Amino acid sequence: MAAMDTGDLEIPDQILDPWLGKVQGGSTVATLSGSIPMKFGQGHTMTFDIGEAEYVGEGANKGPSTVVPTVKTVKPFKFHKTVRMTEEVKWADEDHQLKAVEQVLSLIQPSLSRALDFGVFHGINPASGATVVAMTETLSDADSVAASGEPYEAIDDADRLVLANSCIPSDIALDPLFAAEFATSRTTDGIKRYPELSMQTAASVLEGHRASVSRTVSASGVSDDSTGIFAFVGDFSAIQWGVQRRIGLELIEYGDPDGQGDLKRNNQIAFRAEVVYGWGIANIGAFAVITDPSSS
C-alpha cells in the first residue's frame, strides 16, 4: 500500500492502546483521579449517602434507613490539535510510515492531555485563553486560602477547608513555582525537607498528599487573566471524567482546515487529532484553592 494515500489514517494499535496512559503523563487531573467509561453526550453521575449503621438493642425495633442521592451532570467537551506539514512528509518511504505518525503524535498528544486540566481547573480554551461559557463548574470555584507564611501552612489551611466539608484532602496539584518552594527547601544541614516530591506530572508525595506538578494549575501564559492559583488541594476522586470518543488521526490533503490557507496552494498537508472528554465535579466542597496573596 502506498504511504499515506487515504484520507483517514487509523493509528496503529501499538500507538493507540497506550494513549490513555499518556493522558495521565500530561494531565494532573488524570494523574490524581482515574477515568471512568463514558458514552458520548451529556450524562449524569449519581452518588448515594446512606448514613451510618444503627445500633439495635436486644428485643428493640429496627428503625428506617434513608438513602440520599446526589446527581451531577457530566458534559462533553471536544478539543482538537491540527498540525500542518510540507507535502514531502506524504512522500516519505513506506518503511518510515510509523515513524512519521509517531512524530505527529508526539506533538499532538501532550496538548490534548493538558486540555483536560485547563477545562477542569479553569474552564478555558487552551488555544486562546478565553473562558468557555459551557464550562460552568471548575475547581477554581472552590473556597480559597492565601499562601502567606510558610508554604506548608497554606496546605494546612486548605486541608482544614476540605475537612470542614466532611471530605478527606488526599491530593494536591501544584504549579511548578509553588512546588519549587518545597522541592528546594533544605535543613541547615543541607538535607532536603521534601525528598519525595517530584517536579513532574507523574504522581509523587507532598505533606501526606499524592502530588502532581504542572503549569496547567496556574494556567500561566495560557489564561487571558492571571489566575493567581498556586495549588488545588482535595479529594480528586470527586472529579468524574472520561474519554467519550477515542482519538483519531486524520490526514487532510485539501481545503483550509484551520484558517491558514489552502493546503494545495501551499504544498502542505495537515494532520488533525480530536478527543471528546466528559467531566463533572461531584462535590466542589471536596476541594480548596491555594492562591498567591498578591493576586487578591
Question: What is the rounded distance in angstroms from the CA atom of residue 138 to the CA atom of residue 262?
Answer: 38
- Summarize the confidence of residues 183-194 as an average pLDDT: 91
- With cut-offs at 50, 70 and 90, classify the pLDDT of residue 78: confident
Which top CATH class is 8-47+69-295? alpha beta
What was the pLDDT predicted at 113? Answer: 87
Question: What is the rounded distance in angstroms from the CA atom of residue 37 to the CA atom of residue 182?
Answer: 36
- Please report, for residues 208, 224, 229, 233, 237, the alpha-carbon distance to residue 193 in angstroms, rounded to integers and kept in the order given: 13, 35, 23, 20, 28
User: HSE on the CB side for 7, CA within 13 Å?
Assistant: 4
Q: For the segment 46-58, what is each residue's pLDDT rounded down to a tens digit?
A: 555 555 665 666 6
User: Nearest Cα to 116, choosing from 4, 12, 243?
Assistant: 243
- With cut-offs at 50, 70 and 90, classify the pLDDT of residue 95: low
- With cut-offs at 50, 70 and 90, classify the pLDDT of residue 7: very low
The pTM of this model reads 0.79
Q: For the segment 148-176, what is each residue's pLDDT rounded down to a tens digit?
A: 889 999 999 999 999 999 999 999 999 99
Q: For the segment 263-289, what is each residue's pLDDT rounded down to a tens digit?
A: 888 888 888 888 888 888 989 999 999
